[in-house]
Amino acid sequence: MILVTGGAGFIGANFVIDWLAATGEPVVNLDKLTYAGNLGNLAPLEGDARHVFVRGDIGDPALVPQLLATHRPRAVVNFAAESHVDRSIHGPAAFIETNVAATFRLLESVRGYCAALDGAARERFRFLQVSTDEVYGSLGPQDPAFSETTAYAPNSPYSASKAASDHLVRAWHHTYGLPALTTNCSNNYGPRQFPEKLIPLMIVNALAGKPLPVYGDGANVRDWLYVGDHCGAIRAVLERGRPGEVYNVGGGAEMRNIDVVKAICATLARLAPGRDYAAQIEFVRDRPGHDRRYAIDARKIGRELGWSPAETFATGLERTVRWYLDNAQWLASVQSGDYQRWIAQQYATSPAAAD
Ligand code: NAD
Ligand code: TYD
């Protein structure tokens, strides 16, 4: 079996669901259930004995060794993190606590477990750190895409904290021989993404008749990957990746934010007609330190592990919009009082045009 951390969040929940469908191998899922974690994300696994959910912190130095000793996983896949750039700007402390300090404690727990494994089990064991392309910083319009050898240059509290965790993972491999793998992936989208990130926020606001707040001039570029393709990449790295290596994962789908928002509006116009969604677009004050462009060079994972994305942005977006239209109850349940407070705080400022 494998231990997944952060498996009640967006990518982790998609990963656990896809993993059980693809491999059938049991999963212990350790998640703290922060505002971003939601057992509703795991509803398709209700009653499935192959999935064991444990509420807890990756930084708990008693719980994690006990879980490892009890379940004896052959791998740990670490999704657990604070993950939203805008929240990291308002409150960086939680990012340092989880992405740096708790990740350090997780590595120590896993190191102790791994050291006590017998030869064959230790040979087979893997620790996979799920990271982001944001650790590489920001690209100019003509710069080559991020490769595995691009120097780290994080610009936000979020990306700096993820860069720190990646460095710890690297050092635990280099110094202690922990068989660690790291994936640095571009922006994900798909079912179960919390509606604070660009794509689900725009879908939710569009359907509610609310403004679609585009930061700055809307020309910041991200490389979008459908979440199911990211899950497939992680399975490939876990099975065939070489310990100590880093694999960049991307969708080959660079888009300006304004074009993403217009594509969402066009998809909604087809699937839920009746409103001029694009008329709701508003340009608002920019995010401080907003990275201009991310782009991923995913040739290594293609060449070495044979992975490539199955979805295009058009097909992935269609699937995503349909999922949100079909899951109104999930959406209502995640838009709690806390969510309303976050939206009120983050979008309180007036549109840029009125500044
Ligand atoms: P998310 O915020 O939706 O989920 C994070 C999950 O981790 C939540 O379920 C939360 O409860 C849990 N968690 C937080 N702190 C914890 C702790 N101390 N102990 C145990 N569980 C804890 O995030 P996501 O978008 O699913 O991202 C998952 C991982 O992938 C993160 O490490 C993120 O940095 C990385 N990543 C995300 C993207 C993206 O576009 N979303 C892209 C590349 C990499
Ligand atoms: P986001 O989904 O927060 O991901 P990240 O910052 O990790 O790339 O944002 C994606 C892009 O969309 C980013 O350039 C910021 C922009 N954005 C907006 O323009 N408006 C919004 O309301 C949000 C949440 C993001």
Q: Quick one: average pLDDT of 11-40?
A: 97
Query: Is 135 a member of any domain?
Result: yes
- Whether residue 214 lies inside any domain: the answer is no
Which residues, other chains included, contact 101 with Cβ-Cβ below 8 Å and sequence gap of 6+?
A: 59
For residue 121, the SS3 value is helix
Q: Average pLDDT in the 285-296 region? A: 98
Q: Choosing from 31, 57, 133, 311, which is the catalytic residue?
A: 133
Q: What gap in Å lies between CA 182 and CA 194, rounded to an integer?
A: 24
The parent domain of residue 54 ranges over 2-188+226-250+290-309
pLDDT, residue 52, reads 98
Whether the predicted pLDDT of 353 surpasses 70: no
Asked if pLDDT for residue 300 goes beyond 90, the answer is yes
pLDDT of residue 351: 57
Q: Which tokens hold the place of 41? A: 């994300």
| Residue 118 CB neighbours (<10 A) | 7
pLDDT over threshold 90, residue 8: yes
Q: Is residue 176 part of a domain?
A: yes
Number of H-type helices and E-type strands within the chain: 14, 12
Q: In CATH, what number is assigned to the domain containing residue 69? A: 3.40.50.720
- HEC string of 164-205 equals HHHHHHHHHHHHHCCCEEEEEECEEECCCCCCCCHHHHHHHH
Ligand with smallest separation from the Cα of 197:
2
Closest atom, ligand 2, to C-alpha of 215: 19
* pLDDT tens per residue across span 210-259: 999 999 999 999 999 999 999 999 999 999 999 999 999 999 999 999 99
Spatial distance between the Cα atoms of 153 and 184, rounded to a whole number of angstroms: 14
Burial 314-333, CB ≥16 within 10 A → b, else e? eebbbebbebbeeeeebbee
Measured in whole angstroms, the distance separating CA 253 from the mean position of its chain's CA atoms is 17
Which atom of ligand 1 lies closest to the CA of 189?
40
Ligand 1 within 6 A of 134 CB? no
Tell me whether residue 344 is in a domain.
Answer: no
- Note whether residue 102 is domain-resident: yes
229 catalytic? Reply is: no
How many angstroms separate the alpha carbon of residue 28 from the centre of ligand 2? 31
Q: Is residue 96 part of a domain?
A: yes
- The answer to whether 108 is a known catalytic residue is no
- Count the domains in the chain: 1
Q: Is residue 318 one of the residues assigned to a domain?
A: no
* pLDDT one-digit tens code per residue, 66-111: 999 999 999 999 999 999 999 999 999 999 999 999 999 999 999 9
- Nearest CA to 250 out of 133, 159, 85 is that of 133
Q: Which ligand lies nearest the alpha carbon of 192?
A: 1
Residue 355 is predicted with a pLDDT of 40
Q: Quick one: pLDDT band at residue 337, thresholds 50, 70, 90?
A: confident
Tokens of 224: 């979008």
pTM of the model: 0.97
- Residue 119's contacts (CB-CB under 8 Å, 6 or more residues apart) are none
Q: Is 247 helix (H, G, I), strand (E, B) or coil?
A: strand
Q: Mean pLDDT, to the nearest integer, of 116-121?
A: 96
Catalytic residue of the set 158, 277, 294, 324: 158
Whether 340 maps to a domain, the answer reads no
